[in-house]
Structure 1
Amino acid sequence: MPTLMIQGTTSDAGKSTVVAGLCRALYRRGFKVAPFKPQNMALNSAVTIDGGEIGRSTALQAQAAGVEPHSDMNPVLLKPEGDQRSQVILAGRVHGSMKALDYHAYKTTAQKTVMACWERLSRRYDVIIAEGAGSPAEVNLRQGDIANMGFAEAVDCPVLLVGDIDRGGVFAQLCGTLGLVSSSEWLRIKGLIINRFRGDISLLEPGLSWLEARENKSVLGVLPYLPGLMLDAEDSLSLEQRVEGGGVLKVVVPALPRISNHTDLDPLRLHPGVSLHVVGPGAPVPEADVILLPGSKSTLSDLAWLRQQGWEERLQRHLRYGGRVLGICGGFQMLGDWIDDPDGLEGEPGGAPGLGLLRMETVLRPTKQLRRISGRITTVDGSCSIHGYEIHQGISRGEALTRPLMTLEGRDEGAVSEDGQVMGTYLHGLFDTPDACTTLLAWLGLNEGEARRIDLNVHREEQLERLADSIEYHLDMDAIIELIS
């Protein structure tokens, strides 16, 4: 089975982007191609066509390949619940929570899942473009590795190594990685890619010649930095404060320590009528029209963090002055009167009072709700169809739910406060479709004259085409196709 693996010198070297670009380039050339990430650690996830859960970046790569995302494409997904503990998702389903050392010992068992998923994909596709995680030079993690060279050697596939020149030291990155892998792994690396280059390529060419001569490896291309390229992120937001956009509607978001599925914010980043402020720890909270509480993988601990950072008092003041509040998934749970985690699914067992802005209580249960879903949303400003997905383990009950925000396939979902200032939902992707985005932003205070339709899927397609064009122009595609032939 033709499989090509893209590995990186570091995290965020551009592996996910290169895989997405290659998937789209090969798809345009007529290949039936699938992405594959043996092991991923991320809090941004997606619901697959078979009702499982995989990393968001892998789902985007599936879209680049022109296929529906499937659980087989990301056999192991680790969702951090703390610095030393993660929820383990195997083949799209929750396996349980493990401490880092326990999971390290478990990897030999997890490898069976990885290989079974790869073999199933191999029967359905012409070629698989696999993505590593972190770096293959992490010598402390080499034993039992399933994320990088351990997988590549198990399936006997060639590897391309990506280095990021934008962060500096790309020659040290590449030479250092090649110097730390084993001899058999060194032979498996068939080419080098330099990513995110800015400037005159002629100034880089002497270094490329030196690199090829020193390492006896071909540089298959230098990918340029693509300004404004915006694709679904794999990892969590930086906790540094930042402001995106200059629109009149000011939306402020706390950068929760365990923020999840923050891709919900992507349409707001793109909207010309919105100014999105992400506020990190210790930073002052700016004046806002809307405070948006995002999803969380550790709702109780992130709620405690909010209180410690003074957000509870800020929310009360915000509402007294007529502001709006929107909670999504974990953020929705925080808006209620009480949150209970009796089984310790996201940390230590126990419960805590919520923010008390919606009359409801939430209990976390072992069974995770995973589904793509559609329906209709109704606000005082209009009604329209809405599409999205649910990923949560909470069950909420209470008076607030008698005033639902939307109807999804015959059932009420979400809640709106009596005064209309507070709204919450379990639905992720609620801004992704143009009509729903326009309707929701009108409720949040963006008047019709300032609105513009934003279609996130159309934007993704434009970005994927732009990326594939760059891949085709700057990489040696003939050499790559020879590797997978």
Structure 2
Amino acid sequence: MPGAVMLQGTGSNVGKSMLVAGLCRAARRRGLSVAPFKPQNMSNNAAVTADGGEIGRAQALQALAAGLAPHTDMNPVLLKPETDVGSQVVVQGKRIATVKAREYAALKASLMAPVLESFEQLKAAHDLVIVEGAGSPAEVNLREGDIANMGFARAADVPVVLCADIDRGGVIAQVVGTQAVMEAGDAAMVRGFLVNKFRGDPRLFDDGYALIEARTGWRGFGVLPWFAEAWRLPAEDALEIIGGGSGALHVVCLWLSRIANFDDMDPLAQEPNVRVTMLGPGQALPGDAGVVIIPGSKSTRGDLAYLRAQGWDVDLAAHVRRGGHVLGICGGYQMLGHSIDDPDGIEGAAGTEAGLGLLEVETLMTGDKRLTEVSAVHAPSGTAFEGYEIHKGRTDGADCVRPFARVAGVAEGAMSADGRIAGSYLHGMFRDDAFRAAWLAGFGVGSDLRYGASVEEVLEALADHLEAHMDVAGVLGLAG
């Protein structure tokens, strides 16, 4: 009979997403048909699905670990922050509204139905569903109407394993304190706990582990050492992207306040001949930057203002005068033009913003959203590659006569006359080994990296890591 088990955390970023990916791979290696599921995710790092929607990028990685194509049922509610107080709400792959936090609290009650519908569809199609919570069940002030943690677990009758992060310190209080603030019915759903990210000899925590078991009455499923290869997996959070390599080509990515689909940078960060810098707020653009990438953004006009507030517009102008290259992807492409016109207030108050003026193009924001996987050909090199589009707005202008790529024979993106400034709506291009090698060759840099194979290698190592340090059979056995 199909079953499910849920991993919840004592807080955000305790490693739930990675653990679910590892468990999916471990279950798959046992011959089980397994699917990942996250009722509610908050992320601007989205993946386009085969059924024409979007889900959190972490669930796409978990699907890969499970040997499945990403599907909207794997993440039925996706919140994409557009401002500090408001988010776009995507339900079963489609945007339904943009709401403020207080408005979402009222909307949330209506979302349990599609969440349970998607869960039941996955459960009917697979032997096992591994569910990931969001945030923490200790946030009891958010318990009413909850669809992400205990509200879902109780509605779907799914047993829970609580994951804690010892690297943060206070791990005993994390677990014992979570139980202390939970209502009895919620606490009864928890079957045990995991301690994650231990540095050093895990045996040194034996006394603490036993204390948690004694205080909570919950079963311990293991102490997991720090998994050093995690950085080679697609990042769920821009904070997780680390610089790669020490090569002569310095690629600098502007860390926008609403940066979206930032895992475009992951493959470049693994290139040994490339040095990647994620440029944070208040930092000046390094003078030795060879290429500056302006990434995607959930709020193009807002992040254009943010870019200017950091002084990066002045830095970019100087970079171009020195002969440097610039690549704008999606929202970054829109910023490169002369103007962004938003007459209907798609991204906030209606109005027009002057762009950076580095490309002879203009953008008109529209309400329709393009979500599709594409096969393209890079115009300068003639290299075929796979990517995806996930954007609102249309961009046109004189520089579009020199497209960045062609999709089904149709021009896509734009390039300056000297070829040093380029813009494209295509995400995921750097995951394609052939394209990445051709693009880097244009800067005199060689590439032998096989990125997809690298991710597979890490997923296998992650499953081995869990098998060695965690009672995998015990956790999977909770699903019945």
Tell me the equivalent position of 1:434: 433
2:237 corresponds to which letter in structure 1?
D
- Whether the 8 Å contact between 1:43 and 1:236 is mirrored in structure 2 is no
Tell me the equivalent position of 2:384: 385
Q: Please say if 1:263 is aligned against 2:258.
A: no
Measure how far apart 1:238 and its partner are: 7.3
Tell me the equivalent position of 1:222: 223
2:345 corresponds to which letter in structure 1?
G
Q: Deviations over 1:372-421 (max 9, x none)?
A: 11121131xx3211111110001111111111111112311111110111
Measure how far apart 1:455 and its partner are: 2.6
CA distance in structure 1 between the aligned counterparts of 2:420 and 2:265, rounded to whole angstroms: 20
CA distance in structure 2 between the aligned counterparts of 1:246 and 1:50, rounded to whole angstroms: 40
Structure 2: give runs of 5+ residues left out of the alignment: none
Measure how far apart 1:17 and its partner are: 0.7
- Whether the 8 Å contact between 2:440 and 2:447 is mirrored in structure 1 is no
- Whether the 8 Å contact between 2:224 and 2:466 is mirrored in structure 1 is yes
Q: Percent identity?
A: 49
Tell me the equivalent position of 1:235: 237
CA distance in structure 2 between the aligned counterparts of 1:237 and 1:422, rounded to whole angstroms: 27
Any residues of structure 2 matched to 1:288-307 within 5 Å, and which?
288-307=289-308
Tell me the equivalent position of 1:411: 410
2:102 corresponds to which letter in structure 1?
L
Change (3 A) 1:456 1:318: same
Tell me the equivalent position of 1:465: 460
Q: Please say if 1:476 is aligned against 2:471.
A: yes
TM-score (norm 2): 0.97
Q: How many residues align?
A: 477
**Moved >4 Å (runs of 4+):** none
Tell me the equivalent position of 1:421: 420
CA distance in structure 1 between the aligned counterparts of 2:10 and 2:342, rounded to whole angstroms: 39
Q: Deviations over 1:297-316 (max 9, x none)?
A: 01001111111211122111
- Whether the 8 Å contact between 2:376 and 2:387 is mirrored in structure 1 is no
Tell me the equivalent position of 1:250: 250
Measure how far apart 1:235 and its partner are: 2.7
Corresponding residue SS for 1:352: strand
Q: Deviations over 1:263-322 (max 9, x none)?
A: 000011000111111111111221111111010001001111111211122111111111
CA distance in structure 2 between the aligned counterparts of 1:357 and 1:476, rounded to whole angstroms: 55
Q: Deviations over 1:354-389 (max 9, x none)?
A: 11111111111111100011121131xx32111111
Tell me the equivalent position of 1:275: 275
CA distance in structure 2 between the aligned counterparts of 1:362 and 1:63, rounded to whole angstroms: 35
Corresponding residue SS for 1:358: coil
Tell me the equivalent position of 1:212: 213
Measure how far apart 1:482 and its partner are: 2.1
Change (3 A) 1:243 1:469: closer
- Whether the 8 Å contact between 1:375 and 1:406 is mirrored in structure 2 is yes
CA distance in structure 2 between the aligned counterparts of 1:347 and 1:442, rounded to whole angstroms: 40
- Whether the 8 Å contact between 1:437 and 1:454 is mirrored in structure 2 is no
Corresponding residue SS for 2:229: coil
Tell me the equivalent position of 1:454: 449
Q: Please say if 1:375 is aligned against 2:370.
A: no
TM-score (norm 1): 0.96
- Whether the 8 Å contact between 1:433 and 1:454 is mirrored in structure 2 is no
1:264 corresponds to which letter in structure 2?
D
CA distance in structure 2 between the aligned counterparts of 1:329 and 1:286, rounded to whole angstroms: 23
Q: Deviations over 1:196-243 (max 9, x none)?
A: 11112221111111211121111101111011322222234379xx75
CA distance in structure 2 between the aligned counterparts of 1:368 and 1:83, rounded to whole angstroms: 22
CA distance in structure 1 between the aligned counterparts of 2:132 and 2:187, rounded to whole angstroms: 17
CA distance in structure 1 between the aligned counterparts of 2:254 and 2:398, rounded to whole angstroms: 27
Tell me the equivalent position of 1:317: 318
Change (3 A) 1:22 1:144: same
CA distance in structure 2 between the aligned counterparts of 1:343 and 1:155, rounded to whole angstroms: 41
- Whether the 8 Å contact between 1:253 and 1:294 is mirrored in structure 2 is yes
- Whether the 8 Å contact between 2:47 and 2:60 is mirrored in structure 1 is yes
Q: What is the Cα-based RMSD across aligned positions, in Å?
A: 1.3
